[in-house]
Chain A
Amino acid sequence: MWRMAFIWLCLAVSCPLAEAQIVSVQREEPRPFGYFVGDLITLEVFVAVDSGYLIDPASLPKAGPVAYWLDLRSVSVDDLGGNPRQWRLRLAYQNFYVALDVRRMTIPGFDLIFKSGENSAKASVAPWSFSVSPLREILPTANDPVDFLRADIAPAPVSLGASRRALLILSSVSALMLGLVAFDRSWPPFRRPQARPFALAARRLGRMRRDGSTDQFRAALRTMHQSIDVAAGRRVLAEDLESFLAEHPDYRAEAESFTRFYRASHRIFFASDETGAERLLPPTELVSFSQRLAKLERAAA
């Protein structure tokens, strides 16, 4: 491949003393032809100077538009060391000239200043010319400008594997969470069988073997109290009976039995009057009371 050329440049130096400080200015160039609009051109300039001289950053060309058709995209300076000291300047240009025929263009030259204390030296970089070529013929052969357009690139299929996996994992986690919430809140299908305190009490009272002892009667009354408390969700005292029946109107039919039950309970628990209690509410009646309540409870459910 066509590659490099070395050009010696004469140095036009104002100060005769400084002339001796610049040892050499070399440029490494790309091919000088065959460029199209938008192409990048990289020039490298090597300057050898006496040691002690440092490049003056202010003298470097500024990145930005150079001419209406030319941009300087970047400038970098490297100190390569050695004796005499080598400096490398790398300049990246971009050509925006839209040529209609093959045409020679010139990148302007510039001066670099090196300084050592009060002394300064100037190294001039000469202009560089190259030829640009057109991309298409001047008179289009096709009638329809659309014909110049190339076909669209067919869209490449995007892999959905990761999303599909994430969807699968997240939806199974959500389903699990929903299941846990349903379990916690007793939503279907986790609905627990409704508590039926009166049915439980009726079963327990039915199971009690009737030995006629007062302890058993006390236990039976306690069981009944507990079932009423469970049904109400709080402790129900005789004075609360009205509010309990208002909250649970299904049992209102048994209001009279409730009152009798509480009176019997008062007699036995708070007046220690067992016979009076049994007279008020015989044990058999207590059992049938609990069964009637269980029936009402079933009907209400």
Chain B
Amino acid sequence: MTAAPQQESVPDLVAWRKAAHALQAEIGTVVLGQKRAIKFLTIAVFARGHVLLEGDVGTGKTTLLRAFARAIGGAFERVEGTIDLMPGDLLYHTYLAADGRPRVEPGPVLRGGEELSIFFFNEINRARPQVHALLLRLMAERSLSAFDRDYHFPFLQVFADRNRVEREETFELPAAARDRFFMEIGIEAPADRETRRRLIFETRFHDADALVGSVRPDVVDYRALDEVARAIQEHVRASPVIEDYVVSLWQAIGDPLSFGIELADVDMERLIQGGGSPRGLSFLVRAARVRAWLEGRDLLLPEDVRDVFVETMAHRIFLDSIYELRREALVAELCRRVFETVASP
């Protein structure tokens, strides 16, 4: 590839940054008290990464994702995860036609054609591992085989959510599937009293369909996002010092003891089974670069890495099974200690 055509096709990143802020502002009008989640979803959109939302029931996960889907535009499909959902159900829609003959038509994933921009998988942990396996390919390669041919989805972004309350009749996502998610964002109910009061009493928040419908559509153009994402990654520079810093962070997560990090009541020798993959670390830097761009910088700073660290890395840290039940608290504490310990410059 030569430099000249690339130069021509470089999108105007300043205008795009404005668009990104407009996107956040637009979503912020319909989803209250989730500023941080909106920021991370924006980062994911501009890093072209798949996102898993995790949180309590009724905190607006689905509304948030639908609002994003509407603001980004393109074809949108959604599937509800159930225990009897099979991979075929995502690809094919089988039914008896009016003439009494069985018909096979494209299912949810294929229905929108290759323009599919957002595929939303609700309650992903209710689906079986076979479905997760199909999703794995869809996420990693953005392609599928069906009707005897390959389908490609160049603009596809997968949003999934799962509630963390129930454990019955659910299938834990395999490590490989979790690792393919760019980010795992925790959604909590807003803590601010005023926001809570508005969410409870303002009627416009009661009808999710009307609420999502009020989002201005196509705030950003989904077809250009891939190009913009590439440009952002090239635009934001990483110095050798920050490269060193990220490598040290990875080392500290994988072997906290070597940095003198000890958590209370934890056998640090056993705690970490896997401390992030190279793919995970590359996702981390990708997200950090987008964050730096959103902040109006062309320099990658330790702050960027720290800000996106938990969302991009926590679900890739695998703990010894006896610590798995306390996972959330332990991983958060571990990340906090790592950032308190590892020196940035």
Chain A contact residues, CB within 8 Å of chain B:
221-222, 225-226, 229, 234-235, 237-239, 265-266, 269-272
Does residue B239 face the partner (Cβ distance < 8 Å to A)?
yes
A229 touching B343 by the CB < 8 A rule? Answer: yes
A269 touching B342 by the CB < 8 A rule? Answer: no
Closest partner residue, chain B, to A239 (CB atom): B303
A272 touching B343 by the CB < 8 A rule? Answer: no
Chain B: residues with Cβ within 8 Å of the partner, total of: 19
Q: List chain A residues, Cβ under 8 A from B238.
A: 270
Q: In the complex, which of the residues B303, B306, B345 contacts A265, with contact meaning CB atoms closer than 8 Å?
A: B345
CA distance A226 to B343 in the complex (A): 8
Q: In the complex, which of the residues B240, B299, B342 contacts A266, with contact meaning CB atoms closer than 8 Å?
A: B299
A271 touching B302 by the CB < 8 A rule? Answer: no
A234 touching B340 by the CB < 8 A rule? Answer: yes
CA distance A142 to B240 in the complex (A): 116
A266 touching B301 by the CB < 8 A rule? Answer: yes
A241 vs chain B, min Cβ distance (A): 11
Closest partner residue, chain B, to A229 (CB atom): B343
Q: List chain B residues, Cβ under 8 A from A237.
A: 301-303, 306, 344
A292 vs chain B, min Cβ distance (A): 21
A300 vs chain B, min Cβ distance (A): 23
B340 touching A269 by the CB < 8 A rule? Answer: no
A-B interface, 10 closest residue pairs, ranked by CB to CB distance from nearest = A234-B340, A269-B345, A269-B241, A239-B303, A270-B239, A270-B299, A237-B303, A271-B299, A237-B302, A272-B239
Q: List chain B residues, Cβ under 8 A from A235.
A: 339-344
Does residue B152 face the partner (Cβ distance < 8 Å to A)?
no
Please, could you name 18 A-B residue pairs with CB atoms under 8 Å apart, sorted by A?
A225-B343, A225-B345, A226-B343, A229-B343, A234-B339, A234-B340, A235-B342, A235-B343, A235-B344, A237-B301, A238-B301, A238-B303, A239-B303, A269-B239, A269-B345, A270-B242, A272-B239, A272-B240
11 additional A-B pairs beyond A270-B242, A270-B345, beta carbons within 8 Å, are A225-B345, A235-B343, A235-B344, A237-B344, A238-B301, A238-B303, A266-B299, A266-B301, A269-B239, A269-B241, A272-B239
Q: List chain B residues, Cβ under 8 A from A272.
A: 239-240
CA distance A271 to B343 in the complex (A): 18
Does residue B331 face the partner (Cβ distance < 8 Å to A)?
no
Residues 295 to 342 of chain B near chain A (Cβ within 8 Å): 299-303, 306, 339-342
A221 touching B345 by the CB < 8 A rule? Answer: yes
A270 touching B343 by the CB < 8 A rule? Answer: no
A206 vs chain B, min Cβ distance (A): 21
B51 vs chain A, min Cβ distance (A): 24
Closest partner residue, chain B, to A271 (CB atom): B299
Q: List chain A residues, Cβ under 8 A from B239.
A: 269-272
Q: List chain B residues, Cβ under 8 A from A226.
A: 343
B261 vs chain A, min Cβ distance (A): 12
Q: List chain A residues, Cβ under 8 A from B178.
A: none
Given A237-B301, A237-B303, A265-B345, are A270 and B340 also a contact pair (CB < 8 Å)? Answer: no
Given A237-B301, A239-B303, are A271 and B344 also a contact pair (CB < 8 Å)? Answer: no
Q: In the complex, which of the residues B241, B306, B339, B342 contacts A270, with contact meaning CB atoms closer than 8 Å?
A: B241
B339 vs chain A, min Cβ distance (A): 6
Given A235-B340, A237-B306, are A271 and B345 also a contact pair (CB < 8 Å)? Answer: no
CA distance A239 to B341 in the complex (A): 16
B341 touching A270 by the CB < 8 A rule? Answer: no
Q: List chain A residues, Cβ under 8 A from B345.
A: 221-222, 225, 265, 269-270
B240 vs chain A, min Cβ distance (A): 8
